[in-house]
Amino acid sequence: MSSAPTAFGAASHVASEVDNVFIFILVITAFFFVATQGTLIYFVIRYRHRKGRPDVATSSVITNRILEGIWIGVPSIAVAAIFFYGYTVWEDIRTVPKGAEEINVTARQWLYQFQYPDGRKSINEVRVPVGQAVEFNLTSADVLHGFYLPAFRIKQDAVPGRYTYVWLRASDPGSYDIFCTQYCGVGHSQMRAKLIVMPPARYRQWYRQETAKAEKVLPLADKGKAVVQRLGCLACHSTDGTVKVGPTWKNLYESRVLLENGKTVIADDNYIRTKILNPAATTVKGFPKVMPTFKGIIKDDEITAVIAYIKTLK
Ligand SMILES: [Cu+2]
């Protein structure tokens, strides 16, 4: 259904890059396949055993430094080239551009649930504007799922109990398939969703309309604020920079935290999540080990909301 005019239905710049890496590897391997198999076939025929023809018997070559140098050198260069080319593209896939719009994705048996920044949720359908970088923050409510967008050549596992991410910038409007690539139970093959890419103006109009319709839903960050008030986190944490029993949450997100054991960690989604469920796992340097665990008290979607709230505290 997509109207993508790019080669092989590639729906983003990254997808074309991945295709180029693939073609690059294919050409190199095809060359070596023909070179080695062709030589093999030629030798089999040229040096086959013939009665009464001792002149075509294979000579016994012990060593040939030049030949050995070539067959070690050339494939080594080819393999290194594959690595460096592949690595640059991989880096593009893993580096989310600044200002990317964030959409939370919860995979469960057997559907994808999407949540937009305004708090709205949708099942098995997600919309994004053309040309805008969009980051999908993934988690799973039950088992391992594989969030896969073939037209974008990107795939990322959704893992229960932690957050993973993947991003894309769609180059053409259209409707694209989202599949699950982990065998996650009997409904696995039915676990299909759609990514709908819209022209930016129409997307904004659609977004405003939907937000207005869903007025009663709290934006995710506001829900997070309500959760931390209800659970009493603010008795020990401030949001304005003052130090209480625990460190402030102001500018916490993505900052470097020095731990008691001398190591530093980046305060990302997984760090905050672990802190809430298993605070004893790490301790911030200079603070007492008094934070209680909220395991069994806080729900998964509430943790996601708390993280969204902490992100806003700049
Ligand atoms: Cu699945």
Question: Cα(157) to centroid of ligand 1, in Å?
Answer: 9
Whether the predicted pLDDT of 212 surpasses 90 = no
Q: What are phi and psi of 94, to 5 degrees?
A: -90, -15
Query: What is the rounded average pLDDT of the residues 236-262?
Result: 92
pLDDT score at 215? 65
Instruction: Determine which of 131-145, 214-228, 271-285 has the lowest per-residue pLDDT on average.
Output: 214-228
Question: Cα(179) to centroid of ligand 1, in Å?
Answer: 8
Question: Cα(308) to centroid of ligand 1, in Å?
Answer: 25
Residues 27-44 pLDDT 10s: 999 999 999 999 999 989
Provide the pLDDT confidence category of residue 270 given band limits of 50, 70 and 90.
very high
Question: Cα(46) to centroid of ligand 1, in Å?
Answer: 55
Find out whether 155 and 171 touch, Cβ atoms under 8 Å. no
pLDDT score at 3? 41
What are the residues whose beta carbons fall under 8 Å from the beta carbon of 110, sequence distance 6 or more? 180, 184, 185, 187, 188, 190, 191
Question: Cα(123) to centroid of ligand 1, in Å?
Answer: 14
Question: Cα(194) to centroid of ligand 1, in Å?
Answer: 15
Of the two residues 291 and 138, the one the predictor is more confident about is 138
Output Rg (C-alpha) for the chain, integer angstroms.
Answer: 27
Question: Cα(312) to centroid of ligand 1, in Å?
Answer: 31
Whether the predicted pLDDT of 121 surpasses 80 = yes
Question: Cα(80) to centroid of ligand 1, in Å?
Answer: 35
CA distance 168 to 36: 40
Question: Cα(83) to centroid of ligand 1, in Å?
Answer: 31
pLDDT score at 125? 92
Question: Cα(138) to centroid of ligand 1, in Å?
Answer: 12
Query: What is the rounded average pLDDT of the residues 244-273?
Result: 94
- What mean pLDDT value characterizes the chain? 90
Residues 69-115 pLDDT 10s: 998 999 999 999 999 999 999 999 999 999 999 999 999 888 899 99
Question: Cα(155) to centroid of ligand 1, in Å?
Answer: 12
Nearest to 170 by CA among 148, 199, 190, 138: 199
Domains by residue range for the chain, with CATH: 7-94 (1.10.287), 101-213 (2.60.40.420), 220-312 (1.10.760.10)
The percentage of the chain sitting over the pLDDT mark of 90, rounded to a whole number, equals: 66
Instruction: Please give the DSSP secondary-structure letter assigned to residue 204.
Output: H
Question: Cα(223) to centroid of ligand 1, in Å?
Answer: 27
CA distance 5 to 229: 50
Of the two residues 254 and 56, the one the predictor is more confident about is 254
